[in-house]
Amino acid sequence: MTANRQAARPGVAFPKSLWAAVTAGGPTYRTLDGEAEADVVVVGGGLSGLAAALHLAEAGHNVAVIEAAEPGWGAAGRNNGQVIPTLPFHDPDDIVAREGEAGERFVGLLRNSAQHLFNTVSRLGIAAEAQQTGWLQPAHSDGRMRQVESRVEQWAKRGAPVELLTSDQVRQLTGSNAWFGGWLNRSGGHVNPLALTRGLAQAVTVARGRIYANSPAYGIRRDEDRWVVDTKGGRITARALILATNAYTGEFASLMGTPATHIRREILPVLSWQIATEPMPASVQQAVLPRRHALTDTHLDPHFMRWDARGRLVTGGALANPLSGAWNLKTHITRRLQRLFPDVFDDVRFDYVWNGRIAVTPDHFPRFHRLGPDAVGWTGCNGRGVALALSVGRELARAVTGTPDQDIALPFGPPTVVPYQSLAKAATPLAVAFLRWQDSREVA
């Protein structure tokens, strides 16, 4: 199987993304056949798993990555590519109130996460179409603008490169009169996420780490003082385990009765839709986001967009009605763009529509766990996984190599369970409609 083919098991077929169409294929990685050993085994070849493996391999550890499909097949290669150094609904003071000293360390991780990503891309020479142009969050109402003011004050107090923006400044940066103001984090930006993921995978192998592709984990267990991961064709044992499967935990096998059970039961895997226009003329690119910022506004059902390297506007959104998803999304996004930019988008044509799963937690806060002796895992990117994942992966690697918890920038806690998870999954389209209703109301 070549690395640029989108592998999947029966019943897990996702539309081909823009990134899969424009990104050069990576190496072909072998499957795990027979017995293997490592110091650390990482389950999941997405951004956080590869970041953890890279940190370990560069430090001289014997590390192996077990990937069910291919690096970048899941959310790591299907997202919008925005590099956002914040959580969606939790500001610094809230995080510290929730998690104490560990929360303050985690705020520091968030503050530096985008810069860490761009530094990593530069250091490794990854051709990820990286543009550190800044991340812009416009406010869609007066009430949300007051939230933005508090948000900027909290991040500025902690040394983040942030700036409060007036409505005129937002209009100049976006080309739209739709927003009441906003804020800018200059460390953010955007990347081609599939190119980034494949570049990280290649860097892992250069550092003498191993990657086994098309090797779903069918079992994870503790055998005396070793972790054992069973695949269809083989088995690997290791001193330590990192579980980094996020929204795709249990997708290829149930893994019930394993540490992955905790990860699977505390998230709602939500389908996130992305869409890319045809390449736009220079006049349109100068009228909309002329400085090529990444943009995600303050709607609970957020308006988000960025330009790619070929002049396509890459945007997307949630769907209350997932039936005829591509057609519905095209209609929904066309109306949105015409509302935001009435003088620009008379007719909008799209080249690519695709989707993938993101891991959402009920309170939109990520989960970090000690899963057993020398075993850690995480889940709950909540749509902010690109910047977050690289920094989280580094910290997970430190956690299994002797760094005490008080020196790790992750607030470890016990696993939680989403009540009535099956019903909650079925109700996610209704949740989209509810969020849109909330967005229509003013926030005091």
Q: Tell me which of 62-66, 140-144, 158-162 is least confident.
A: 140-144
DSSP-assigned states of every residue in 43-85: E--SHHHHHHHHHHHHTT--EEEE-SS-TTSSHHHHS--EE--
User: 282-303: per-residue pLDDT in tens?
Assistant: 999 999 999 999 999 999 889 9
Please name the fold of domain 27-78+194-268+363-425. FAD/NAD(P)-binding domain (3.50.50)
- On whether the CB atoms of residues 246 and 385 are closer than 8 A, the answer is yes
- Looking at the chain, the whole-number percentage of residues with pLDDT higher than 70 is 94
User: 226-246: per-residue pLDDT in tens?
Assistant: 999 999 999 999 999 999 999
Res. 444: pLDDT tops 60: no
User: What are the residue ranges spanned by the domains of the chain?
Assistant: 27-78+194-268+363-425
Mean pLDDT of 369-382: 96
pLDDT score for 12: 52
Print burial letters for 114-140: b (CB count within 10 Å at least 16), e (below 16): bbbbbebbeebebebbbbbbbbbbbbb
- On whether the CB atoms of residues 237 and 223 are closer than 8 A, the answer is yes
User: 26-44: per-residue pLDDT in tens?
Assistant: 899 999 999 999 999 999 9
For residue 382, give both structure tokens: 């909540």
Instruction: Tell me the C-alpha distance between 221 and 363, whole Å.
Output: 30
Q: Tell me which of 110-124, 176-190, 310-324, 347-361 is least confident.
A: 310-324
pLDDT band at residue 9 under the 50/70/90 scheme:
very low
Nearest C-alpha neighbor of 401 from the set 40, 76, 34: 40
End-to-end CA distance of the chain: 55
Kind plus residue range of the DSSP H or E element containing 173: helix 167-174
